[in-house]
Amino acid sequence: MVLEHLFPEEWLEKKSYYAFLLGAGYSIIGVLFSKFLFPADPALPAVAFTSLLLLPELYKMFSIEEKQQRSEKKSFMFRTFWKDNGDFFRVYLFLFLGILIVYSLAAMLLPSLSVNTLFKQQVALRGPGFAAAGQATINYSNNSIFWSILSNNFWVLVACFVVALLAGDGAVFLIVWNASVWGTIFGLTARNAAFFSNSNPIGFFLIILAIVLPHVLLEGSSYILAAMAGGLISKGALKEGIDGKRFGRVFKDNSFILLLAFACLVLGAIVETFVLNHSSKYNEIIRLSFSALK
């Protein structure tokens, strides 16, 4: 495929922030293709197209990382993990952010009818049941919000790990999907709040981003780490067989990565709960956004 040669995997590993452009560019192409081929409901096909475009790059990088893990003779240490896998993790994270920003800008700037058509499935998730876009307005206890967030996000993490374990780098679909949902909802929240208050949606979006970015990065990182662990275990099993000595090392190392993913998930839920209960500015933007829908 021609597009995959625009950013060779060695270059992406050394200059991982270029992955932001890759994620943004592929998500735009995915939306345009799905709009042309599936005009009635292009939301999920757009995510699928974006994921398919990303797969060749991620497959090659997974192979590189798996070889590094198999050749590593020392026991797992965070310093070793970051040395071997830090570039790959950053590539995934910048891809995630690039997709999120594209969907946010599209939700803010495109005509309402186009947004409701292009991102139909993402828009359907917006409401009081979606913690990042309104659950703070419900009179729940801190513990209730925390466990609700953690439970929902835990199953997303499990899905990322299992899909990656069964299909290598197939969990990229779930990561792209989550980036598209967050981006669409944050963009719509800013757009509606700006409409109701006769303000600039970009300003509201920057405020939202500044407030939610810590827990978005933590939760996104947990899904990425789970996908990395599942994908690396899957490729290790294919290369070494599940009874191989080297596979045992790969499995052990990636079990630690999975634990690290869960730690990020818990920390993200704590931060999100704090934001939902203590950020008056965020609650005010949410209130304005939902007022615009009435």
> Letter for the amino acid at 193?
A
Query: Can you read off the two tokens belonging to residue 158?
Result: 């499990």
Structural domain tally of the chain? Answer: 1
DSSP states of 174-227: HHHHHHHHHHHHHHHHHHHHHHHHT--HHHHHHHHHHHHHHHHHHHHHHHHHHH
* Residue 39 backbone phi and psi in degrees, to 5: -65, -25
Quote the pTM value.
0.83
180 neighbors 122 (Cβ within 8 angstroms): yes
The range of the structural domain enclosing residue 35 comes to 3-291
**H or E element in which residue 144 lies:** helix 142-167
Give the residue among 115, 117, 287 at the shortest CA–CA distance from 204. Answer: 287
User: How far is the C-alpha of 258 from the C-alpha of 223, rounded, in Å?
Assistant: 10
> Letter for the amino acid at 260?
L
Q: What is the pLDDT along the chain (294 residues), one digit of tens a residue?
A: 555 555 555 555 566 778 898 899 999 999 999 989 998 888 899 999 999 888 877 766 666 655 555 555 555 555 666 666 677 788 889 999 999 999 999 999 888 888 888 888 888 877 544 433 333 333 345 668 888 888 889 999 999 999 988 877 778 888 999 999 999 999 999 999 988 888 889 999 999 999 999 999 999 999 999 988 888 787 766 666 666 666 666 777 778 889 999 999 999 999 999 988 888 888 888 888 877 565
**How would you classify residue 86: left for phi > 0, otherwise alpha for psi between -120 and 50, otherwise beta?**
alpha
User: How far is the C-alpha of 98 from the C-alpha of 269, rounded, in Å?
Assistant: 23
Where b means 16+ CB within 10 Å and e means fewer, 3-33 reads ebeebebeebbeebebbbebbbbbbbebbeb
Give the residue among 181, 164, 193 at the shortest CA–CA distance from 124. Answer: 181
Query: Can you read off the two tokens belonging to residue 177?
Result: 């999907």
- What is the total residue count of the chain? 294
Give the residue among 175, 129, 136 at the shortest CA–CA distance from 152. Answer: 129
Planar angle of CA 231, 9, 72, nearest 5 degrees: 55
